[in-house]
Structure 1
Amino acid sequence: MTDLSAFPITQKWPAQHPERLQLYSLPTPNGVKVSILLEETGLAYEPHLVRFDTNDQLTPEFLSLNPNNKIPAILDPQGPGGKPLALFESGAILIYLAEKSGQFLPADPARRYETLQWLMFQMGGVGPMFGQLGFFHKFAGKEYEDKRPRDRYVAESRRLLAVLNQRLTGRAWIMGDDYTIADIAILPWVNNLIGFYGAGDLVGYKDFPELARVVQAFLARPAVQRGLGIPARPAGA
């Protein structure tokens, strides 16, 4: 039987199936990127809920796996060379899982790098900008009388949405006919901006019909529908 006892995180989140990949996460836009990819690939995994309302991400056990105290993080008992691998940062995890499964990352070198550039577009632009907009529109920042910070992120979010809308014109997915980790990284953030943050009118989402079309195709995928709720939140959390 696989032994993961050397990893302190398993003391707080014991592995019921230590032979499976262990996922430590929460169904946020960054978290569901990984659960969706795991559902798409069919890799065996065991999800563990990291609750922000109880500051699970700040516990010594979680910090032993990710010193940056962010979700998601994984522990793969069957990493490279058959040795356990602990990994954090959702973009790095997406690349790792795509390579491990041989899916959703093109083998052709040119298309591989083109896919990775769109993954980095999400990591460096879409995620941080949409997240800041969410803070100023939905959370504590909405109480600020000065709306210049919010409007700055509205403008930049609109610009990023326009880039995506242009890219998706005449394409089924970011990379054309191929559904890849670029889509799995980007589209949950767009869905969250419009849904959970409720910023559709603020950013003029109706002006981006090509993007909206692809988001709907993404949300129709069974693996996406499952992954959006993994790990399941407890009632009231």
Structure 2
Amino acid sequence: MADRAVGVPFAKEGFPFIGVGVGVTLAFGWQGWTTATFVSAGVTLFVSWFFRNPARVIPTGSGLVVAPGDGKVIAIEEEFEPRYLKDRSVRVTIFLNVFDVHINRIPCDGVIEQVQYQPGLFLVASKPAATLKNEQNAVMIKTAQGAKVLCVQVAGLIARRIVCWVSPLDRAICGERFGLIRFGSRMDTFVPVGTSLKVKVGDRVKGGETILGVLS
């Protein structure tokens, strides 16, 4: 899987929004509508900031699982994952607010085994019910050692579009970009029981850079 967004300052999915914002701002300015021009410029800057695509320093090492997104760790739970893993695992949930980077990154090296989109509700992403009920996209990765890591993009109250750039049988490279969620969301990472976790609830993490844990 080639990292398609290297060197691009904004996710291409944001270009239409940014372009419209710039056009509207210029039109207001041409008409001499000062207040509308400043408001439109502010909205355009916010949208540009939302779709920013920063470079990250990807850690190296055997069995590393990195954060798939920026945000705050709001839950770490051992539970049975019934849909894809069909086994007990540890779920690390990261909540992304509208000010966080929304580019999503591959959590570990391996091969993409499965990509499954699930339509659903748009409950507040921080709520426990969002785990199973919200619109989401699951990416299953199998490592060279046979461990399975599940990464789930979960839409939220404001997020209304999930974007995923990977397909089954693609090579998964730790830290590479694989998609995004528009306007506030959540990332769930399911790792095997016994994984040595390096984060706790309340921690702020950076996608592709912060180590969530080390596979046993």
Q: TM-score range by the shorter chain?
A: under 0.3
Which is richer in helix?
1
TM-score normalised over the length of structure 2? 0.22
TM-score normalised over the length of structure 1? 0.20
Which is richer in strand?
2
